[in-house]
Chain A
Amino acid sequence: ETGVTQTPRHLVMGMTNKKSLKCEQHLGHNAMYWYKQSAKKPLELMFVYSLEERVENNSVPSRFSPECPNSSHLFLHLHTLQPEDSALYLCASSQDRALGRDTEAFFGQGTRLTVV
């Protein structure tokens, strides 16, 4: 148990569906992240929230919409996805954005998303 919990673990959705991924951390961290992990590709950073404010959006299509209602929760709202969006979506958190000696990023177990 890493302290970062993601639900659901698996999700199959049609291209016209709307669904949401949920991430929860009780580590007292101030930064939260969404990453996309596709087979044989590096983890792609999608969004970064720091103190509940979105500080980074890496050119992610608008069919992905993040929400951070408080410092412990992060959502990724999905709508009209494409089959190429099928991947493992990972949430992570860290004390703050400055990673290094005393700060590491903790990852959740991910949501395996399949778009049909």
Chain B
Amino acid sequence: QKEVEQDPGPLSVPEGAIVSLNCTYSNSAFQYFMWYRQYSRKGPELLMYTYSSGNKEDGRFTAQVDKSSKYISLFIRDSQPSDSATYLCASWSSNDYKLSFGAGTTVTVRA
């Protein structure tokens, strides 16, 4: 069983739409939850991270963690064509110092 499962997509939305990305995880020891964005032919870059359950906002992006259901979400409001990328969820635990990734969801925002 993969430690982090991510909705595979791909997603294609019109400009201005809300994008909703979801992951589930199985390891209760995960402490930090991250979202990475990876543009085509680039490496992943950290977009947001959260610690424990709750919401975190950064501009048009909201990351949400529900540890009771082991669910991770990322919402992108007022999506722009520049948001077109692959989004990777990831979780980290101090038990094994390992960053576990989902397989990624490719998002295309149509102008």
Q: Does A90 contact B (CB under 8 A)?
A: yes
Q: Which residues of A contact B99 (CB under 8 A)?
A: 45, 99, 105
Number of interface residues of B (CB under 8 A): 27
Instruction: Please tell me which one of the listed residues B2, B49, B92 contacts residue A42 in the complex, with CB atoms under 8 A apart.
Output: B2
Q: Does A108 contact B (CB under 8 A)?
A: yes
Q: Is the interface of A mostly helix, strand, loop or mixed?
A: loop
Q: Does A61 contact B (CB under 8 A)?
A: no
Q: Determine if B32 and A100 form an interchain contact, defined as CB atoms under 8 angstroms apart.
A: yes
Q: Which residues of A contact B42 (CB under 8 A)?
A: 109-110
Which one of B11-19, B66-74, B100-108 contacts A? B100-108
A73 to B44, CA, bound (A): 19
Q: Does B62 contact A (CB under 8 A)?
A: no
Number of interface residues of A (CB under 8 A): 24
- How distant is B67 from chain A, measured CB to nearest CB, in Å? 15
Q: Determine if B44 and A90 form an interchain contact, defined as CB atoms under 8 angstroms apart.
A: yes
Q: Does B41 contact A (CB under 8 A)?
A: yes
Q: Determine if B51 and A43 form an interchain contact, defined as CB atoms under 8 angstroms apart.
A: no
Residues 37 to 53 of chain B near chain A (Cβ within 8 Å): 41-46, 49, 51
Q: Determine if B8 and A43 form an interchain contact, defined as CB atoms under 8 angstroms apart.
A: no
Q: Determine if A99 and B8 form an interchain contact, defined as CB atoms under 8 angstroms apart.
A: no
